[in-house]
């Protein structure tokens, strides 16, 4: 059956008709909002390469999170910016560290908000790498000890989900083991399973003050050329006990999202990263693109590719747009 019996335009004639046959829906409940909390300051600091995003002091972080929660966003992801950095990133697993304190305050004041914590030492190390460094190399197994402690102290503070983003091998199994030993067998792990060595993290590194002092992250993050390898990463993390797996970045890696979706049954998250945010903001500021439309189209595309959850700095804007459109 072909034209003229088949006319694809029949079902596109009006918005109600289009809405009726729409395959993908985006909702505020799909979104997670990443937030930066900074120790040792009482002022909010704008992040120049991420217009509209800030480093928050603890009290204002709570206001911002409450705002997002009020818009129907179920979860925030916390990144901590400590005063003290050292070789081993010890302030990452200080029970009284900035993220641990932020988690306690958030769970105390907004109990229904899901608080997810980033588990990775790069913001806490003097060298800015996601693993411990020995003789100029990033060492895997020793780093797992730090990650165990970091995840444990986050769970003790009340984190609802821990999210390792370091890309060390075996970290999901190590964190699962640590949490289970400490009675946190019900705390889920969302692993950054297929995390690429992307140039699109540059604004984040400015925001989080976490650029590596030497070298790059190519010995632990994935080569952007590889998709089959992403399937292995995702499967391994599920075998190690990941409850949710993530692909990151999102828009340039929609094929990876679709493949991961086809390969595993666990919920899949995708991270629309800082550089994706900054590109859209920069084009919108020049009035080259309509910001609201780009936000909704990119997030919808990420969902259509197979993501169940999307981490995005546009979470609040998107939620407002979705509410305004009556969804
Ligand atoms: C590492 C981490 C990074 C991001 C999230 N977790 C930076 C990196 O790997 O260099 C990037 C997120 C973004 O760009 O928005 N802790």
Tokens for 95? 């029970």
Nearest protein CA to atom 16 of ligand 1, as residue: 120
The CB of 196 under 6 Å from ligand 1? The reply is: no
State the average pLDDT over residues 298-317: 98
pLDDT number for residue 1:
87
What is the Cα–Cα distance from 240 to 225, expressed in whole angstroms?
25
What is the Cα–Cα distance from 299 to 297, expressed in whole angstroms?
6
Cβ atoms 69, 112 nearer than 8 A: yes
pLDDT number for residue 209:
86
Cβ atoms 155, 182 nearer than 8 A: yes
> Which residues does residue 222 pair with via DSSP β-bridges, in sequence order?
196
Ligand 1: centre distance to CA 118 (Å) = 9
Q: pLDDT tens, 246-277? A: 999 999 999 999 999 999 999 999 999 999 99
What is the Cα–Cα distance from 263 to 95, expressed in whole angstroms?
37
Q: pLDDT tens, 23-43? A: 999 999 999 999 999 999 999
By the 10 Å C-beta count (0-12 exposed, 13-18 middle, 19+ buried), 104 is classed as middle
By the 10 Å C-beta count (0-12 exposed, 13-18 middle, 19+ buried), 182 is classed as middle
Q: For the chain, what is the mean pLDDT?
A: 97
Ligand 1: centre distance to CA 298 (Å) = 20
Domains and CATH numbers, the chain: 25-324 (3.20.20.70)
Selected catalytic residue, list 85, 195, 281, 316:
195
Query: Running DSSP on this structure, what letter comes out for residue 211?
Result: -
For 102, residues 6+ apart whose C-beta sits below 8 A from its C-beta are 37, 58, 61, 78, 80
State the average pLDDT over residues 293-307: 98
Cβ atoms 49, 207 nearer than 8 A: yes
Q: pLDDT tens, 110-143? A: 999 999 999 999 999 999 999 999 999 999 999 9
Selected catalytic residue, list 85, 152, 248, 316:
248
Ligand 1: centre distance to CA 249 (Å) = 9
pLDDT cut 90: percent of the chain above it: 97
pLDDT number for residue 327:
53
Q: For a substitution probing ligand 1, which of 128, 130, 201, 246 has the most ligand atoms within 8 Å of its CB?
A: 201
> Which residues does residue 78 pair with via DSSP β-bridges, in sequence order?
35, 117
pLDDT number for residue 276:
98
* Tokens 């029949």 sit on residue: 10
What is the Cα–Cα distance from 222 to 218, expressed in whole angstroms?
7
Cβ atoms 60, 105 nearer than 8 A: no
Strands 137-139 and 132-134: antiparallel
State the average pLDDT over residues 285-314: 98
∠ at Cα 296 (195, 325), nearest 5°? 145
The CB of 274 under 6 Å from ligand 1? The reply is: yes
Q: For a substitution probing ligand 1, which of 92, 125, 206, 208 has the most ligand atoms within 8 Å of its CB?
A: 208
The CB of 84 under 6 Å from ligand 1? The reply is: no
Q: pLDDT tens, 224-241? A: 999 999 999 999 999 999
For 234, residues 6+ apart whose C-beta sits below 8 A from its C-beta are 193, 194, 245, 247, 260, 263, 264
> Which residues does residue 192 pair with via DSSP β-bridges, in sequence order?
246
In the predicted structure, residue 326 carries a pLDDT above the cut 90: no
What is the Cα–Cα distance from 298 to 257, expressed in whole angstroms?
14
| Residue 156, SS3 per DSSP | helix
What is the Cα–Cα distance from 232 to 166, expressed in whole angstroms?
17
Nearest protein CA to atom 6 of ligand 1, as residue: 165
248 is catalytic: yes
In the predicted structure, residue 86 carries a pLDDT above the cut 80: yes
pLDDT number for residue 228:
98
State the average pLDDT over residues 188-216: 94
Cβ atoms 277, 269 nearer than 8 A: no
The CB of 120 under 6 Å from ligand 1? The reply is: yes
pLDDT number for residue 259:
98
In the predicted structure, residue 48 carries a pLDDT above the cut 90: yes
Cβ atoms 166, 143 nearer than 8 A: yes
Q: For a substitution probing ligand 1, which of 204, 280, 314 has the most ligand atoms within 8 Å of its CB?
A: 204
What is the Cα–Cα distance from 162 to 50, expressed in whole angstroms?
25
The CB of 160 under 6 Å from ligand 1? The reply is: no
Nearest protein CA to atom 1 of ligand 1, as residue: 165
195 is catalytic: yes
| Residue 75, SS3 per DSSP | strand
| Residue 65, SS3 per DSSP | helix
């Amino acid at each position: 059956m072909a034209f003229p019996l088949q006319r694809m335009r029949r079902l596109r004639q009006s918005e109600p008709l289009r809405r009726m046959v729409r395959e993908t829906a985006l909702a505020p409940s799909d979104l997670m909002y990443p937030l930066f909390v900074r120790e040792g300051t009482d002022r909010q600091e704008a992040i120049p390469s991420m217009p509209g995003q800030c480093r928050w002091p603890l009290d204002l972080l709570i206001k911002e999170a409450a705002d997002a929660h009020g818009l129907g966003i179920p979860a925030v992801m916390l990144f901590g910016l400590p005063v003290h950095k050292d070789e081993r990133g010890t302030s990452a697993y200080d029970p009284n560290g900035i993220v641990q304190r932020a988690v306690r305050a958030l769970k105390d004041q907004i109990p229904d908000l899901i608080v997810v914590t980033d588990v990775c030492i790069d913001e806490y190390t003097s060298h800015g790498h996601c693993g411990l460094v020995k003789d100029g190399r990033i060492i895997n197994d020793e780093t797992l000890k730090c990650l165990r402690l970091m995840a444990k102290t986050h769970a003790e503070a009340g984190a609802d989900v821990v999210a390792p983003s370091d890309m060390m091998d075996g970290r999901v199994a190590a964190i699962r083991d640590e949490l289970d030993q400490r009675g946190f067998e019900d705390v889920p792990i969302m692993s950054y399973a297929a995390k690429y060595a992307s140039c699109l993290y540059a604004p984040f590194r400015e925001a989080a003050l976490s650029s590596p002092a030497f070298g790059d992250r190519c010995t632990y993050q994935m080569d952007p050329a590889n998709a089959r390898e992403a399937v292995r990463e995702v499967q391994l993390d599920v075998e190690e006990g990941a409850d949710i797996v993530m692909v990151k970045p999102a828009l340039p890696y929609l094929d990876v999202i679709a493949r991961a979706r086809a390969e595993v049954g666990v919920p899949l998250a995708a991270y629309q990263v800082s550089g994706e945010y900054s590109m859209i903001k920069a084009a919108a500021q020049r009035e080259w693109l309509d910001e609201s439309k780009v936000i909704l189209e990119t997030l919808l595309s990420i969902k259509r590719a197979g993501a169940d959850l999307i981490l995005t700095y546009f979470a609040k804007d998107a939620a407002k747009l979705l509410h305004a459109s009556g969804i």
